[in-house]
Structure 1
Amino acid sequence: MEAMHIKHTNKPISKWRQRIGYGISDLACNLIWQMISLYLLFFYTDIMKISPAAISLMFVLTRFFDGVTDLIVGYLIDQTNTRWGKSRPYFLFGAIPFALFAFLCFNVPNISDNGKLIYAYVTYFGLSLAYTIVNVPMASILPSLTSDASERTALSTSRKFFGFLGATIVSSSAMILVNLWGNGDQALGFKWVMALFGVIGCLLMFGTFFNVRETVPVSEKRVTVREVYSSLKQNKPWLIFALNILFMWTGYFIQTGALVYYFQVVIGSTTLSVTVATIMSVVPMIANFFVPFLASKMGKRNLYIVSSIVQLLGCALIFLAGNHSFEILIGAVVSGLGYGIKESIYFSMQADPVDYGIWKTGINVSGSLSAINGFLGKVAQAIAGGVAGALLAWGSYYPNKAIQSEQAVLAIKAMYLYVPMLLILCSIVTMLFYRLDTMYPMIEKELAEGKTQSDQG
């Protein structure tokens, strides 16, 4: 096995300081990215007046192209060796571009329609690139923070608590602040709200840089592309997990992007959309606290599957509720409970295939693996944006029209319920084949002893 080294400047810090420091990175990301997920499609179609079909194409092209940058950033992380570690420096240098491009996305330039579309392409791609620079390290750094499985779950739980907190802040306050600061001008309101969240997000990302330490021994040997490919193709748990990423995040992004449309057009209540969005942030945040206990009793995979079933039942309740507000809220609570537990354990599970890969091949490709996970998330978002835009175009959706056609209503129902429910079911079936939990204690023990299968083979 390769020689392993620890950077002497990365001295350990207290567990709680690191948990909070790691967690606030997701608070930073969610203050910005929840604005993108919840409101950018609406901002483009209803405020910038860009056609849904054009936005659909932009989402697909930009997200796939941007996904390549995930792979590049991941590979760069694997080649990075600084006094701060491999992943940590990216929080420092990516924070300002992330906040800046988010602010630019919610601006309406006084130019032609074609010019606005080009502006949307440039700023949206810039935001996605900046997001990659800070988001890929959030996943790749976890195996370097601790080798203890329970502490990884605690760190992931902290991350998702703060992530849900950020989502709650955005979902419960964004539109109120938009209307307050815009004073009837939504374009102005969105701009200043995004400016506020961007500045806070930037400062929080700096906080992460100063409050986490990479202390787990890592190889300083540079990894070749051939070694990355060889390691990943032998990593069966990761291959299953990777397929699940597509199902999980495609469903999430389609449903999240459709929330405003569903409650405004199908239910006829903008107020209810704010309430449901808040529930879908607050309930997961509370559910997050139970994840370490549940994972210790059920195992990560089983907890993921059970929580996905709960989320699916919640969506079914919303479907059966029709226009009845109380039943919709019950469904949102159930769905939020399942989703919150599922997402939290998902991020804890991400680090385990990294250890499996090291044990199987003797090669540490944590940066590349995390980057490919991020790339698949971007692919999922591209698919979601493309499907959403295509459904809106198929349904002949017209922005600001008081009464939409039956076909438009059906398209929005498909976006918010039918397609996400199908993808949750696909995710459940996929994870039935994930068996790493039973092997992990043995893998953890052998890695602690410096053993790998490549050494034994």
Structure 2
Amino acid sequence: MQQPWQTAWPERISYGLSDAADNLVFQMMTTYLLFFYTDVYGLSASAAAILFIVARLADVVESLIIGIMIDHTHSRFGKSRPFFLWYALPYVLFAVLTFVTPNFGDTGKLIWAYVTYLGLGFFYTAVNLPITSILPTLSKNDQELTLLGVIRQFSGSAVQIIVAVFTLPLVALLGRGNQQHGFLYTIILFGIISLALIWNTFFQVKERFSQPEADHQPLGEVWQMLKKNQPWFVISIVILLYWLTTAIKNQTTIYYFKYLQHSESLVPLVNGFTFAALIGVVLIVSAAKRLGKKRTMLTGIAIAAIGQLILASGTLVQQLPIIFAGTFINSIGNGLIIGLVSIMIADTIRYGMTMGIQAEGILASTDDFGVNVGLGLGGLITAGLFHLSGYVANHPQNVATQHMITLNYAWLPLGLYILMFIVLLFYNETQLLTAVNQHFDNVRN
């Protein structure tokens, strides 16, 4: 029997806005930070590549640490919820410091970049991971959890689009021709909004459902559960591949239009077509109910791959309308994929509970692990290939670099979508749902 719904709209919207808050900063990192470091701050592409991989290696450890911290938190606010209160302010402060451009020498500038970016990565994990870990504690109703996940992703995707479209115009407006000032003032604006939204989430959401006998289990017991949680392992790989794809493509977009189309002003226009991701997110509730979550995500990956193929074809014939059409179709598929990630992670958390382990912190750390490693590898691949091909900031690029930019923007993401589809075929949704439904039927009885 289906559980009644427990959340009201103010709580649902506040939960969704937590992802919007994080994405105000996160989208600037994924889309513009490499460009900021190379073309505004003055780091070499090779130095930026090494920084990204070091930061992501640190984030691998940080995701696990934050997950363990959540699973061992005892407070009157719950396990995940207090992290919104404790870490929102340092998160925003480090976001601002990351875009400060001190007048140091080359070594000093590099040290500043390491300290601020590594700090930002830690505090991003501290405020983002709880968004996923808290979800299965908000309700026992599977359809309600799907709705909450969709609201979260709709809010997050909407803000991603806003940041992608309006960041460069805001940089130009606020900086008045000075990109250093423009990026700093823009992140300050985004940071203030982000802080307010994260704290609003803390005050509005409630952790309702927990199994005390399954909480705070030793790491050895958690590890044994993870080894048996095949759906968690598969969705973890899918998440990693998705963010690797996203990082490579998003970080290269501005380079493609600046150096191959010779029009940086086209970046907000092409990013505007990514609003189609919201179409995919909205379709999730009905599609998942009809097809199931696995088949819905497979459909999303297929649509995204088709769109990416169209985009790649557009780069071959140098036709912007084809590139824009491919971006639009690709974004619909991306909306279906990313909108299901937190929902399917919540399912794997509930699957772990059928084995007597409620470790939402560690299991949810998969999401941040995939984000961080995917972004790090994406940044390393992009910046590394640029360096090998002879990239020189703010100069006409040689033929090899132009080919590398097109490879990263068009063809590498296409191959990764295909790999993502193959991996998801191994996700055993039937086994998961059968075990979860039987477990909660037993709990009610």
Q: Which TM bucket (shorter chain)? A: over 0.9
Q: Which runs of 4+ in 1 moved over 3 A?
A: none
Cα 1:394–1:451 change in 2 (3 A) is farther
Q: Distance in 2 between matches of 1:372 and 1:45?
A: 30
Alignment partner, residue 314 of structure 2: 321
How far has the Cα of 1:81 moved from its partner?
2.0
Structure 2 matches for 1:325-404, cutoff 5 A? Answer: 325-359=320-354, 361-401=355-395, 403-404=396-397
Cα 1:162–1:373 change in 2 (3 A) is closer
Alpha-carbon displacement from aligned partner over 1:273-313 (angstroms, at most 9, x marks no partner): 21111221x11123321210111111100010111111111
Q: 2:406 aligns with which of 396, 413, 420?
A: 413
2:72 counterpart of 1:79: yes
Alignment partner, residue 250 of structure 1: 244
Q: Distance in 1 between matches of 2:273 and 2:429?
A: 33
Q: 1:296 aligns with which of 289, 296, 299?
A: 289
Question: Does the 8 Å contact 1:94/1:130 carry over to 2?
Answer: yes
How many residue pairs get matched? Answer: 438
Q: Describe the SS at the equivalent of 2:84.
A: helix
Q: Describe the SS at the equivalent of 1:72.
A: helix
Q: Distance in 1 between matches of 2:346 and 2:260?
A: 40
Q: Describe the SS at the equivalent of 1:270.
A: coil
Q: 1:158 aligns with which of 151, 166, 172?
A: 151
2:300 counterpart of 1:307: yes
Q: Distance in 2 between matches of 1:437 and 1:103?
A: 45
Q: 2:267 aligns with which of 254, 259, 273?
A: 273
Cα 1:102–1:439 change in 2 (3 A) is closer
TM-score by length of 1: 0.93
Question: Does the 8 Å contact 1:74/1:372 carry over to 2?
Answer: no
- The aligned amino acid for 1:235 is N
Structure 2 matches for 1:162-241, cutoff 5 A? Answer: 162-219=155-212, 221-241=215-235
How far has the Cα of 1:248 moved from its partner?
1.4
Q: Distance in 1 between matches of 2:165 and 2:367?
A: 29
Cα 1:56–1:406 change in 2 (3 A) is same
Question: Does the 8 Å contact 1:38/1:256 carry over to 2?
Answer: yes
How far has the Cα of 1:15 moved from its partner?
2.3
Q: Distance in 2 between matches of 1:155 and 1:13?
A: 11
Structure 2 matches for 1:439-454, cutoff 5 A? Answer: 439-450=432-443
TM-score by length of 2: 0.95
Q: Distance in 2 between matches of 1:409 and 1:342?
A: 30
Mean Cα displacement is larger for which, 220-229 or 403-412? 220-229
Q: Distance in 1 between matches of 2:432 and 2:26?
A: 35
Q: Distance in 1 between matches of 2:332 and 2:320?
A: 18
Q: Distance in 2 between matches of 1:19 and 1:118?
A: 41
How far has the Cα of 1:437 moved from its partner?
4.2
2:106 counterpart of 1:110: no
How far has the Cα of 1:239 moved from its partner?
1.3
- The aligned amino acid for 1:223 is Q
Give the gaps of 5 or more residues in structure 1. Answer: 1-11, 453-457
Question: Does the 8 Å contact 1:95/1:205 carry over to 2?
Answer: yes
Q: Describe the SS at the equivalent of 1:158.
A: helix
Question: Does the 8 Å contact 1:313/1:334 carry over to 2?
Answer: yes
Structure 2 matches for 1:133-148, cutoff 5 A? Answer: 133-148=126-141
Alpha-carbon displacement from aligned partner over 1:109-139 (angstroms, at most 9, x marks no partner): 0110110001000000010011011011011
Question: Does the 8 Å contact 1:101/1:123 carry over to 2?
Answer: yes
- The aligned amino acid for 1:183 is R
How far has the Cα of 1:13 moved from its partner?
6.8
How far has the Cα of 1:372 moved from its partner?
3.5
Alignment partner, residue 455 of structure 1: none
Alignment partner, residue 85 of structure 2: 92
Q: Distance in 2 between matches of 1:172 and 1:61?
A: 29
Alpha-carbon displacement from aligned partner over 1:391-424 (angstroms, at most 9, x marks no partner): 11012111111x2111001111121122111111
Alignment partner, residue 430 of structure 1: 423
Q: Distance in 1 between matches of 2:162 and 2:245?
A: 22
Q: Distance in 2 between matches of 1:412 and 1:61?
A: 23
Tell me the C-alpha RMSD between the 2 structures.
1.6
Q: Distance in 1 between matches of 2:326 and 2:111?
A: 40
Give the gaps of 5 or more residues in structure 2. Answer: none
